[in-house]
Amino acid sequence: MTLNQQKVLLGITGSIAAYKTCELVRQLRQDGAQVQIVMTEAAKKFVSPMVLEALSGRPAREALFDRSAEMTMSHIELARWADLVLIAPASANCLARLAMGIADDLLSTICLATRAPVMIAPAMNTVMWEHPATQENVATLRRRGVTVLEPEIGEQACGEVGAGRMQEPEDLKEALLSLAVPQDLQGIQALVTAGPTRERIDPARFISNFSTGHMGCATADALLNRGAQVTLVCGPITLDPPEGAQVIHVTCADEMLQAVEQHGRECQLLIAAAAVADWRVRKSSADKIKKKDTPPTLALEPTADLLSAVATWDMRPYLVGFAAETEDLIENARAKLQAKGADLIVANLIGDNFGFGDVDSQLEVVSIDETHSIGPASKSMLARDLVEYIAARLGSPASIIDFNARAQHKNTSAG
């Protein structure tokens, strides 16, 4: 087990043990984790943000009211981004503030706003650690589900001997693993389609739709997070695809189908989140159609339905489709489940001003036996819960392989 693709938010507070965090960051990164540093003012007196930025590969966050940093990722987004929050070292002051639920700096605010598991590695003078006030704060935090590690016993920077030393980076990494997102999709190859497609009219124009690729990219990210190997086939999007995915860029529905044909055969799981154009222009023009010409009538023809095509493969992956609907959400999703031969259809409502982009949404996951609601929440939270639901339905990786065998049987027996 590793921390591969786990998003670790590392809080650093004011303690001499902060110098050990450089080695901790190095080890977490070596294990494949993405590390976001959040430092308190006092922490900066013990370790340089610049060193930590170089080691983590991301700007360290310090202030709650930093407008430019908040524009990139707000404190709430940071809290949602994290799979794990580790505070190392945690000073006596930090423990007291967290126990009180104070939120007057970035780190304490994130701790209140996150749903991720929080682990704390205390470091302080032994008398401070043993003080009833500190021990009561530790008990309060543990009662609330926070993992407070025991500090090590030994000689301290202040000269005293006793409990209060921060655990070593290697031990902290091991402890984090016990809270990490389960790697239940390890060994699984997944293909995700994302974004819109563009169907050419002439060299300057195309038919497309409002899809931004947010849901597809978030889904790919959530799959990686649970240990899957991911191929992301995406239409034209402006988003950065998630780190760790094999990305194949396509433009039109035909290219998307070809990419799925080429890369999907080896997969055990296929999630079709792309908004594939349903029609293309029968005969696109080699030259630009001029405005002075009479307005053209575009003769359209249907594109191939990618999901339905994969459903007919002899050895097909577990198949998850999406359905963006303006009405009758669940009825339409059920109809698509049947018509396309998918195992799950993930339905969401869209309208003129909602449903597309980086906005909160709600999903209804329809299968033959149940309808499961997820959200409302941000697309990354929805994707996390969706992938957790899919992983639970699939069971262990071994049963996905079984599923393939069953699918093969089903398709050959269907003729």
- Residue numbers annotated as active site: 158
Nearer to ligand CTP, 117 or 216 (CB): 216
Q: Long-range contacts: 52-60, Cβ < 8 Å, 24+?
A: 52/12, 52/21, 52/22, 52/25, 55/22, 55/25, 55/26, 55/29, 56/10, 56/25, 56/29, 57/29, 58/34
Binding flag, residue 361, ligand CTP (CB under 6 A): no
Question: According to the binding rule CB under 6 A, does residue 128 interact with ligand CTP?
Answer: no
Asked if 263 and 233 touch (Cβ cutoff 8 Å), the reply is yes
In the complex, the smallest distance separating the C-beta of residue 401 from ligand CTP, rounded to whole angstroms, is 24
Q: Are 216 and 380 in contact (CB under 8 A)?
A: no
| Side-chain-side CA neighbours of residue 155 (13 Å) | 1
Work out how close the CB of 291 gets to ligand CTP at its nearest, in angstroms, rounded to a whole number: 30
Residue closer to ligand CTP, measured from CB, 75 or 336: 336
Cα dist from 164 to 95, 121, 142, 151, whole Å: 13, 10, 18, 5
CB of 309 to ligand CTP, least distance (A): 8
Min. distance of Cβ 382 from ligand CTP in angstroms?
15
Cβ within 8 Å of residue 361, ≥6 positions away = 215, 348, 349, 354, 355, 375, 376, 377, 379, 382
234-273 positions binding ligand CTP, by CB under 6 A: 253, 272
Q: Which two tokens stand for residue 157?
A: 């920077």
Q: Which is nearer to ligand CTP, 93 or 371 (CB)?
A: 371
- When the beta carbons of 62 and 343 are compared against ligand CTP, the nearer one is 343
If binding is defined by CB under 6 A, does position 274 make contact with ligand CTP? Answer: yes
Of 363, 365, 359, the closest CA to residue 210 belongs to 359
Cβ proximity to ligand CTP, 128 vs 222, nearer residue = 222
Q: Which is nearer to ligand CTP, 336 or 393 (CB)?
A: 336
Q: Out of 322, 356, 389, 403, which residue is the one contacting ligand CTP (CB under 6 A)?
A: 322
Whether the Cβ atoms of residue 130 and residue 86 lie closer than 8 Å to each other:
no
Least separation in angstroms between residue 234's CB and ligand CTP is: 12
Q: Which of 18, 24, 220, 323 binds ligand CTP (CB under 6 A)?
A: 323
CA-CA distance, 248 to 131, in Å (whole number)?
A: 58
Q: Which is nearer to ligand CTP, 152 or 305 (CB)?
A: 305
Q: Mask of contacts with ligand CTP, 332-351, x by CB under 6 A?
A: ----x---------------
Is 318 near ligand CTP (CB under 6 A)?
no
278 forms part of the interface with ligand CTP (CB under 6 A): yes
Bridge partners (DSSP) of residue 354 are 351
The total of other beta-carbon atoms located within 10 Å of residue 17's CB is 27
Phi, psi for residue 410 in degrees, rounded to 5: -60, -45
Least gap, CB of 380 to ligand CTP (angstroms): 19
The secondary structure element, H or E, covering residue 102 is: none
Report d(CA 171, CA 144) in Å as an integer. 23
CB of 30 to ligand CTP, least distance (A): 37
| 8 A C-beta contact, residue 299 and residue 283 | yes
The 186-225 contact track toward ligand CTP, x by CB under 6 A, reads: -------x--------------------------------
* Candidate list 117, 164, 317, 321; residue touching ligand CTP; CB under 6 A: 321
Q: Which of 276, 329, 337, 381 binds ligand CTP (CB under 6 A)?
A: 276
Taking the complex as a whole, the smallest distance from the CB of residue 339 to ligand CTP amounts, in Å, to: 8
Residue 204 CB neighbours (<10 A)? 10
Check residue 393 for interaction with ligand CTP (CB under 6 A): no
Query: Measuring CA to CA, which residue among 182, 225, 135, 209 is closest to residue 1?
Result: 182
The piece of 86-94, 218-226, 261-269, 315-323 that touches ligand CTP (CB under 6 A) is 315-323
Task: Using alpha carbons, select from 137, 121, 134, 145 the residue that is nearest to residue 12.
Answer: 121
Number of residues that bind ligand CTP (CB under 6 A): 16
Sign of the Cα torsion 360, 364, 365, 371 reads positive
Nearest CA to 245 among 275, 213, 276? 213
Q: For residue 12, state whether it binds ligand CTP (rule: CB under 6 A).
A: no
Of the pair 40, 348, the CB lying nearest ligand CTP is at 348
Residue 303 in contact with ligand CTP, rule: CB under 6 A: yes
Q: List residues binding ligand CTP (CB under 6 A).
A: 193, 253, 272, 274-276, 278, 303, 305-307, 321-324, 336
